[in-house]
């Protein structure tokens, strides 16, 4: 086991690997899960939905909410401790075609949630080792309540792609409600080979039913095999470093670290004292109170425990700063060590819990402002996924000579702090100062980033977050449309539509959107009308939604959407299908106030336009002054796919683009209101304002909900 030892190994009692996910309302078990890493728990997405009181198959990300989880205590065999957790990665239930899961479906794909747990400073108890599932495996599962007596004995009957079917033994416990998310412990492999998702019920049961009799489905359940879990999580980076490989003797980081430890801690007693302090900080047991670890054992632990390097430099920094710098330099050659020590990471998560939800909702915006050239993030924009990504990034390029660079995470936290009330800002700065001291970063270097953040926040406050209403419009036959509507007051979209299958005429749809807009109460300090953002697929970019009018003989005014409110279109499909351009889109958006505008006035070949725009990240706005038809549509869609955040054209069927020329004098950020004003003038005076402007607006600082081709049906 080595000198540094885990506090416990649950293989003799694998029920201790089970984590309980509890409901937020009554504290009862919603389901199970198990530990993936020192601060990470894996469960089913529908277990999180149950914990939050949502529909089981709700595909919407939960947002910045806390879910209570109960983890076995490393110090006691029979106790557990409850901690708050947030969703870091959300893989919602989905149908095989990628769409919503239909009502009454007995099987689905996805359905995983990775939770970040605000646990003890030393980390959670170690999780179980994983292994691939095969047919015939004998496996055990447990209820989320965590009691060993709930063990259900199962056999893997068959694997069908990403699904596995399990048969229970005729006696003992059967898998049922509360078992979802349980690890499937294989006795032969001494490893977890998947997790429980659901069970089958005969026709007339309370869950997902099949048209079969009771004898046909007795004790049949289904699961996600570990190989399918890996396929879902590996692209998100979740499994990176969860179980680091043993250090190779010829690893350059290992050789340099051994030398640095030998020089910094030449005496056995000094090395033993330091090792015992390090073990305590990292939540592991020291191997001896007398015999120290060898320099090789010491270095191997530092390169396999993700937070040991940071903790070691913290121990060395005060009395031996040069040794701390040597240790950091050696550790930088390895991909395993994280930026923060366990205590620093725990403190940061605690501070983030005190920050207002409105500020946490702007965390992605702060990241883009602090790091405008940051590449696309595979794990998404949740706070915890961003923290994972930021911890692995190097410092910025503002250092000179031997000065240590400011890590990306510290820079971002300065930008987040600049958005916070005074008390939270001060606490974040004290935290950042402590990390900077431990890393040997000059105070002046951090002060420069702090000043940049203050200037950005001052500018951002001048552009207060605008209320918006998001309307997904999908065709539902000739002249009919289906709607899904969300409101976003600055903390993210919340769905307000209730209909799932109803279709609307243009007039009925306008009336429904106006009904939602009438229900909003803009803040007193913001006199701007809400922004209406119409979410369409590529075939709906020219839908005249801005011209839809709620015509009702009983009303005094017609209620034209684009005349009463600034209305833009957004096509998330084009960005999602061309994800490699997301980083360029974010960079362009960060330069919205200083970037260049391009006018395309002649039909142009797609390849020529691609070559011209693909790497021009200073081009933030394209005006398409080309007659209607397929060439113009290709130009518009190519611009949007390449990550141009603002694209404008005129829907008129003849003549030149009057509105495009007219709006050329309006600043890019003011275009939604400028187009709104133009439409009002066109309604009042068509001869002078003959255009029918369309504005595609892709705001990288505001999130859009996950879209489906059809509304998810209510599941059991």
pLDDT of 225: 96
- Which positions ≥6 away from 322 have C-beta within 8 Å? none
pLDDT of 179: 92
pTM of the model: 0.69
Please tell me the chain's helix, strand, coil percentages from 3-state DSSP, rounded to the nearest 5: 35, 20, 45
Q: Treating both helix axes as pointing N-terminal to C-terminal, what angle do 252-264 and 295-302 enclose, rounded to 10 degrees?
A: 120
With beta carbons less than 8 A apart as the criterion, state whether 19 and 71 touch: yes
CA 578 to chain centroid = 18
Specify burial of residue 289 (Cβ count, 10 A radius: 0-12, 13-18, 19+): exposed
pLDDT of 204: 43
Task: Tell me the mean pLDDT per 10 residues along the chain, length 716.
Answer: 73 86 92 90 95 89 88 75 92 84 82 91 83 94 86 92 90 86 93 91 48 58 94 86 75 90 92 93 86 92 91 93 92 89 91 86 83 64 84 66 80 92 92 94 89 84 77 89 88 73 88 89 76 93 93 75 95 85 87 88 86 89 91 94 95 78 89 94 91 94 67 32
With beta carbons less than 8 A apart as the criterion, state whether 25 and 53 touch: yes
* Residue 532, token pair as written in the block: 């209406």
With beta carbons less than 8 A apart as the criterion, state whether 483 and 471 touch: yes
User: What is the signed CA dihedral for 41, 43, 47, 48, rounded to 10 degrees?
Assistant: 40
């Amino acid at each position: 086991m080595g000198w540094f030892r885990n506090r416990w190994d649950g293989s003799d009692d694998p029920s201790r690997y089970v984590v309980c996910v509890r409901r937020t309302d009554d504290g009862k078990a919603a389901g199970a899960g198990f530990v993936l890493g020192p601060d990470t728990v894996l469960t089913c997405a529908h277990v999180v939905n149950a914990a939050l009181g949502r529909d089981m198959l709700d595909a919407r990300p939960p947002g910045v909410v806390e879910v209570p989880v109960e983890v076995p205590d490393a110090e006691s065999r029979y106790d557990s401790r409850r901690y708050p957790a947030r969703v870091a990665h959300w893989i919602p239930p989905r149908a095989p075609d990628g769409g919503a899961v239909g009502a009454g479906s007995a099987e689905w794909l996805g359905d995983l949630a990775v939770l970040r747990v605000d646990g003890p400073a030393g980390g959670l108890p170690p999780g179980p080792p994983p292994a691939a599932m095969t047919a015939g495996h004998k496996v055990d599962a447990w209820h989320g309540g965590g009691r060993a007596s709930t063990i259900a004995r199962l056999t893997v009957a068959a694997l069908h792609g990403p699904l596995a079917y399990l048969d229970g033994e005729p006696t003992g416990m059967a898998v049922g409600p509360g078992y979802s998310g349980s690890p499937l412990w294989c006795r032969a492999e001494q490893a977890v080979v998947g997790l429980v998702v659901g069970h089958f019920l005969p026709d007339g049961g309370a869950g997902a039913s099949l048209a079969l009799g009771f004898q046909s489905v007795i004790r049949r359940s289904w699961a996600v095999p570990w190989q399918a879990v890996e396929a879902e999580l590996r692209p998100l980076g979740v499994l990176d470093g969860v179980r680091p490989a043993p250090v190779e003797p010829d690893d350059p980081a290992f050789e340099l670290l051994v030398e640095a430890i030998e020089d910094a801690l030449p005496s056995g007693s000094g090395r033993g004292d330091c090792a015992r302090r390090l073990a305590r900080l990292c939540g592991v047991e020291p191997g001896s109170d007398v015999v120290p670890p060898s320099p090789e054992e010491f270095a191997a632990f530092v390169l396999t425990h993700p937070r040991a390097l940071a903790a070691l430099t913290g121990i060395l920094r005060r009395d031996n700063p040069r040794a701390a710098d040597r240790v950091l330099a050696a550790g930088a050659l390895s991909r395993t060590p994280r930026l923060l020590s366990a205590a620093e990471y725990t403190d940061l998560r605690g501070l983030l819990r005190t920050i207002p939800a409105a500020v946490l909702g702007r965390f992605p915006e702060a990241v883009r402002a602090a790091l405008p050239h940051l590449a696309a993030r595979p794990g998404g924009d949740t706070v915890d996924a961003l923290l994972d990504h930021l911890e692995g990034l190097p410092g910025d390029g503002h250092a000179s000579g031997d000065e240590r660079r400011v890590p990306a995470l510290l820079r971002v936290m300065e930008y987040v702090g600049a958005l916070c009330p005074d008390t939270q800002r001060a606490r974040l700065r004290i935290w950042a100062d402590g990390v900077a001291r431990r890393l040997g970063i000059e105070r002046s270097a951090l002060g420069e980033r702090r000043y940049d953040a203050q200037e950005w926040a001052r500018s951002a406050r001048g552009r207060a977050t605008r209320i918006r209403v998001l309307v997904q419009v999908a065709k539902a036959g000739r002249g009919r449309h289906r709607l899904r509507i969300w409101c976003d007051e600055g903390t993210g979209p919340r769905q307000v539509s209730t209909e799932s299958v109803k279709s609307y005429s243009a007039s009925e749809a306008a009336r429904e959107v106006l009904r939602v807009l009438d229900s909003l109460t803009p803040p007193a300090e913001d006199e701007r009308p809400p922004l209406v953002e119409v979410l369409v697929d590529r075939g709906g970019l020219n839908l005249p939604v801005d011209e839809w009018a709620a015509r009702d003989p009983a009303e005094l005014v017609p209620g034209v959407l684009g005349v009463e409110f600034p209305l833009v279109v957004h096509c998330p499909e084009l960005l999602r299908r061309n994800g490699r351009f997301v980083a360029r889109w974010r960079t362009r958006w960060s330069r919205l106030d200083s970037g260049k505008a391009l006018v395309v006035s002649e039909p142009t070949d797609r390849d020529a336009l691609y070559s011209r725009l693909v790497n021009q990240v200073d081009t933030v706005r394209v005006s398409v002054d080309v007659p209607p038809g397929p060439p113009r549509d290709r130009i518009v869609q190519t611009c949007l796919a390449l990550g141009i955040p603002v694209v404008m054209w005129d829907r008129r069927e003849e003549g030149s683009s009057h509105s495009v020329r007219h709006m050329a004098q309006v600043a890019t950020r003011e275009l939604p209101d400028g187009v709104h004003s133009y439409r009002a003038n066109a309604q009042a005076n068509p001869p002078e304002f003959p255009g029918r402007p369309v504005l595609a607006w892709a705001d990288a600082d505001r999130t859009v909900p996950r879209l489906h081709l059809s509304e998810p049906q209510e599941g059991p």
